[in-house]
Chains A and B, each alone.
Chain A
């Protein structure tokens, strides 16, 4: 079966897998992560009883450093940075 995990297609031999087993297979530390299956949050105590099937979409998130994150996304962001430099030079 094929499952989409965090936007990536992954192939599994079996036809379904418990969410808790999937976390183990992916070698993820289960603390302080959250999981959505087909956009529904699956609570930690339901990981074992939730089975993931072909075509399911799984999102697994964690925390990373950030304040208010300024992401350099594309050329427009660059242009913004240059304009910023102009503003600073008075």
Chain B
């Protein structure tokens, strides 16, 4: 028997940086900073996303970043951008403000669905990689686009599982599975669509390397508790994926010996 692969010894690497947690979480929609901090702590996440916005001019506001554990890897995003040009501009500002090359690239194509614009995303990714950014792109679950993003130099790809903030759970298991099988060496992070713990487990069982979520934790009745549930769900899903599940059968297969039954 092999040594049990515990989720903790099974590190997740992006662009040469190792993470013990395969959960990446957002910082939006929390009811208070304290609630956000508690959720971050119980999630065990080591990377969090933040958005770039104009500074309000008429009141001095404290820096949001002061509310984040300094040990966390900050992943600025380009949320709210609708063109490659806007996303590139936002990424450059984020790099300047935070002195980080990491960027979660998000170029939205439509306000109702918030589905990504894969074409603009690819264009922005190519430019940003050339400028030295570590680009983690959010995109629609398209294998060919995933290949192009990886060819462009993205160290990971982040397909959606359902619309942002919908909590519908994994709506595209076949596409995610195909992506995993066709890109065995790629780092795949499922981003958006998770609603509850079992959804995160499903994403991991399909072979995702990590899951990024925000609303599922922030809009739970008890975000710190849900954050812990997500942590366990991701570990469970990862272990199940590494274990290799049994094959499915249409009919029963007895677990107890068939002979020697008392009649």
Contact = CB atoms under 8 A, between A and B. Distances in A.
Interface of A: 5-8, 10, 26-29, 31-36, 39, 41, 43-44, 59-71, 73-74, 76-77, 79-80, 84, 87-88
Given A67-B27, A67-B49, A68-B106, 12 more contacts: A5-B57, A32-B63, A34-B52, A35-B96, A61-B93, A63-B51, A63-B94, A67-B212, A67-B213, A74-B111, A80-B111, A80-B112
Contacts of A8: 57
Nearest to A7: B54
Contact of B79 (A29, A69, A73): A69
B251 interface: no
A69 B136 CA distance: 16
Nearest to A80: B112
Contacts of B214: 66-68
Contact of A65 (B30, B92, B166): B30
Given A68-B114, A69-B79, A63 B55 contact: no
B127 interface: no
25 contacts: A6-B57, A27-B60, A29-B60, A32-B97, A33-B97, A34-B94, A41-B92, A44-B96, A61-B55, A62-B53, A62-B54, A62-B61, A62-B63, A65-B64, A66-B51, A67-B29, A67-B214, A67-B218, A68-B106, A68-B214, A69-B77, A70-B114, A70-B164, A74-B111, A84-B163
Given A63-B98, A66-B49, A6 B55 contact: yes
A68 B191 contact: yes
A10 B58 CA distance: 12
A62 B214 CA distance: 20
Contacts of A88: 167-168
